[in-house]
Amino acid sequence: MQTIPKLTAGTGSSVVVERCQLCDGKELEPIIFLGYLPPVNTMPIIGSIPKEEPAYPALVLSCKKCSLVQLGLTVDPNILFPPEYPYTSGTTKILRDNFAEMYKESQTFIKLGADDLAVDIGSNDGTLLSNFKNGGHRVKGIEPTLMANLANERGIPTERAFFGPEAVKKVVETDGKASVITATNVFAHIENVHQVVESILDLLKEKGVFISESHYWLSLVETLQYDTIYHEHLRYYSLSSLRYLLEQHGLEIFHVKRIPTHGGSIRVYAARKGDYAIQPSVKEIEDAEKNFGLQDKALTEFKRRVVNSKLALMSLLHELKKDGARIVAVGAPSRASTLVNYVGLDEGVIDAVLEIKNSYKIGKYMPGTLIPVRDENLLFEEQPDYALLLSWHIAGELIANLKAKGYKGKFIVPLPEPKIVSSEKEIL
Ligand SMILES: [Zn+2]
């Protein structure tokens, strides 16, 4: 076993991960170190003089015992999510389609009646639950942010609370227990994941089904989405680590499906042991993880591939800049901050990062840099030579959209291998 580099916590309230967050194991093997990353919402106003800013080590660790992949530092949530942090709904078309499909698929396993209750954890604006409601079932959302009010206005009854024993007690008292509980992108963010699963069990009716969706570690490694690694995401799940988590609480996974959200996610169906027949999908995906070498050779390869992609991107940009090309980047999602900082892009390479009108990021600098974030209109008015796509996981959709709006230049897709394309047809 390699030894873990000593981490320096940025503040007293960040916690170094010395034991696995799932199994308490001590053998945590470093996979890759992406450097010290600034919090993704640290965006000073354009023109302000740079001052001292925090940055946190992004060391990715894999547990030898349960295979959970996790960041080596848990940053104080008050720093990552300050009160002024604008929450956005994030319900894109791909997410809406996915939730509709999830509802349909769930009905092949559990036939819900009018009395059955579906509960969504971290229910946002109620988009997922609207599918269950339209299907004629009772629904209840649990959501800590202001989005809860929006959901209630839209007719999706929502409890404004963090998910945990108290919220569960309240829902059981008012609505009874749930036949279906859903949680999308919850396990990666929440600190005490074991307590969450215990609370799910307290809320789940007999023969009830728990459906979770998580960004999938296999997809991340396959398509080199290292840019989705930042401190809001504490953990990265595979089927085997999810199984380890759920089995510890008596839940059995009976169906698994790979889905396209967030550049590749995994939908997992679980119930109390023996309640449902285990589908062939479970073994298929388990085998796929093994064959890919997700616990051994693929991890070593991952680091080499990430480093090479950084060198290749810099080399491509160098060639273009030598010829005097003007390059802007498009889209400043959280993941863009990891890519920009890991690769080392600065305002000498990229003139600006463009965001659509009304983005709160316009008028600020990208975290850790002096690259200004400007209105997307610049792309159509000034027609820079190249547009680097920072939301490259939806490159095809973006290119079609930007061309339709009148951009005539070329596109740089930075990952998995950097390439220049002129049309969405060149995207696989
Ligand atoms: Zn572990």
Distance (angstroms) between ligand 1 centre and the Cα of 55 equals 26
Distance (angstroms) between ligand 1 centre and the Cα of 282 equals 21
Distance (angstroms) between ligand 1 centre and the Cα of 299 equals 16
Distance (angstroms) between ligand 1 centre and the Cα of 244 equals 9
- Give every CB contact of residue 96 below 8 A, 6+ residues apart in sequence: 127
**Comparing C-alpha atoms, which of 78, 189, 181 is closest to residue 132?**
181
d(CA 413, CA 227): 13
Distance (angstroms) between ligand 1 centre and the Cα of 31 equals 14
Distance (angstroms) between ligand 1 centre and the Cα of 338 equals 25
Distance (angstroms) between ligand 1 centre and the Cα of 309 equals 29
Is residue 32 within a helix (H) or strand (E), and if so which, with residue range? Answer: strand 28-37
pLDDT at 87: 52
pLDDT at 212: 97
Distance (angstroms) between ligand 1 centre and the Cα of 22 equals 5
pTM of the model: 0.90
Distance (angstroms) between ligand 1 centre and the Cα of 2 equals 16
* Residue 185 per-residue DSSP state: S
d(CA 159, CA 110): 25
pLDDT at 311: 98
Other CB atoms closer than 10 Å to residue 303's CB: what's the count?
Answer: 15
φ, ψ dihedrals at 56, nearest 5°: -120, 140
Distance (angstroms) between ligand 1 centre and the Cα of 64 equals 7
pLDDT at 145: 83
User: Any idea where the domains of the chain sit in the sequence?
Assistant: 15-80, 93-271, 322-426
- Contact between 411 and 394 under an 8 Å Cβ cutoff? The reply is no
- Topology of domain 322-426 in CATH is Rossmann fold (3.40.50)
Q: Which residue bears the tokens 């919850």?
A: 186
Is the CATH code 3.40.50.150 the one for domain 93-271? Answer: yes
Distance (angstroms) between ligand 1 centre and the Cα of 232 equals 19
Tell me, yes or no, if the two domains 93-271 and 322-426 fold the same way.
yes
> How does pLDDT run along the chain (428 residues), one tens digit per residue?
333 333 333 445 789 999 999 999 999 999 999 999 998 888 999 999 999 999 999 999 999 999 999 999 998 877 777 655 555 555 678 889 999 999 999 999 999 999 999 999 999 899 999 999 999 999 999 998 888 999 999 999 999 998 999 999 999 999 999 999 999 988 887 778 899 999 999 999 999 999 999 999 999 999 999 999 999 889 999 999 999 999 999 999 999 999 998 889 999 999 999 999 999 999 999 999 999 999 889 998 999 999 999 999 999 999 999 999 999 999 988 889 999 999 999 999 999 999 998 888 999 999 999 999 999 999 999 999 999 999 998 899 899 999 999 999 999 999 999 999 999 898 86
Cα–Cα–Cα angle for 109, 112, 114, rounded to 5 degrees: 175
Distance (angstroms) between ligand 1 centre and the Cα of 207 equals 29
Distance (angstroms) between ligand 1 centre and the Cα of 24 equals 6
Distance (angstroms) between ligand 1 centre and the Cα of 70 equals 9
